[in-house]
Amino acid sequence: MSRRSLTLLVAGFLTLALAVVGAVLPVPYVVLSPGPTENTIGDVKGKPVISISGHETYPTDGRLSLVTVAYQGGPDNRLDLVTALRGWLDPTVAVVPEETLFPRTSSAKEVEEQNTQEMTDSQQSATAAALNALKIPIQKTISVAATDKGAPADGRLKPGDEITAVDGAPAGALESVAAAVQKHKPGEQVTFTVKRGTTTSDVVVGTKQGPDGHAVVGVRMRSAYRFPFKVDISVGEVGGPSAGLMFSLGIYDKLTPGSLTGGKSVAGTGTIDPTGVVGPIGGIEQKMVGARKAGATVFLTPSGNCADAVRAVPAGMRLVKVDTLDGAIKALDALRSGSANLPSCPAS
């Protein structure tokens, strides 16, 4: 065999070996791609995304679509090098370090649980924001988010419990509950009045000394809300807080006469708090691609995401900048009336 033939043979073998290794070599990256869109005033698998009972609702049309990001990879299912390289060459996806989605301090299961909790909190905030916009009174409550393992509250208080009183005094705010516990000496007992489902009962919990010397029970609380009628939101396995704005708009649309969209296909994203303030999210580029593929021509964009959005907006899609739920409603009113005066993301 000539030297030239031998060189070509060795080079071919090395190329093949590198290709094989690349196909199986795991890398600590995650591929983000456009995920499914869901119409918040429509149905998913025959079930309304938003169901309202106990209050009058009105017909809607068009689409108010939430958008999602799908991911491939993660600590339990690492990407191979070839898939990562393919992602880097695709302008519609992003390849990011694994710890962007999965912090090293959390397991994949913990991240999933956090995303689920964020979705639950987002639905509460979205409902509160929509009802506040409609001047419908709501009641703020305090509920148990979690208990610390091995703490006095562990096994006594449960996630979702509504704390209505402490030692017989009504629970006003998160700070007042903590203050009521700290009135006790470590080792003493605290009586929580708790609503669990449809049952209200007193739960006696011991205390221990916290890092600052005060009595603690080892419970983490969050603000929640009691609404005057039932609002159910169902989107399957979608997680995270970024659909808050679109949930609020869907609820508002169903509770008001007429159509917010005027029959148009509108998509959008953004977190929302109970006062209606809209916050930025991640994956804006992939979400816009998914929305456009689903037929959306208007995309409601948190102002904090404008800089990234204008650099990647798909052809045929109009960006409308939003800071609040009220601003989004006014923008949709203007869009429906044919006005050209809409808040837009400035060109970068």
Q: pLDDT by residue (tens digit) across 248-298?
A: 999 999 999 999 999 999 999 999 999 999 999 999 999 999 999 999 999
The phi-psi region of residue 168 (left if phi > 0; otherwise alpha if psi is between -120 and 50; otherwise beta) is left
Give the pLDDT confidence score for residue 83 in this predicted structure.
Answer: 74
List phi, psi (to 5°) of 56.
-65, 135
Give the pLDDT confidence score for residue 213 in this predicted structure.
Answer: 92
Interatomic CA distance for residues 298 and 342, integer angstroms: 11
Q: For the chain, which residues score pLDDT lower than 70?
A: 1-27, 87-88, 101, 105-108, 111, 347-348
Interatomic CA distance for residues 286 and 219, integer angstroms: 38
CATH 2.30.42.10 domain extents, the chain: 139-226
Give the pLDDT confidence score for residue 84 in this predicted structure.
Answer: 72
Give the pLDDT confidence score for residue 348 in this predicted structure.
Answer: 53
Give the pLDDT confidence score for residue 16 in this predicted structure.
Answer: 44
Give the pLDDT confidence score for residue 22 in this predicted structure.
Answer: 47
CATH number of 33-71+110-136+229-336: 3.30.230
* DSSP H or E stretch at residue 199: strand 199-206
Strand pairing partners for 220?
146
Give the pLDDT confidence score for residue 95 in this predicted structure.
Answer: 77
Active-site residues, by number, are: 242, 287
Tokens matching residue 231:
């609002």
How many helices (H) and strands (E) the chain has is answered by 8, 22
- Of 229, 220, 231, 228, which Cα lies nearest the Cα of 143? 220
User: CA 97, 100, 104, 107 torsion: positive or negative?
Assistant: negative
Interatomic CA distance for residues 63 and 42, integer angstroms: 7
Give the pLDDT confidence score for residue 4 in this predicted structure.
Answer: 55
Give the pLDDT confidence score for residue 106 in this predicted structure.
Answer: 65
Indicate the burial class of 347 (C-beta count within 10 angstroms; 0-12, 13-18, 19 or more).
Answer: exposed
Q: Which CATH number fits domain 139-226: 3.60.15.10, 2.30.42.10, 2.30.30.100, 3.40.50.2300?
A: 2.30.42.10
List phi, psi (to 5°) of 181.
-65, -40
CATH 3.30.230 domain extents, the chain: 33-71+110-136+229-336
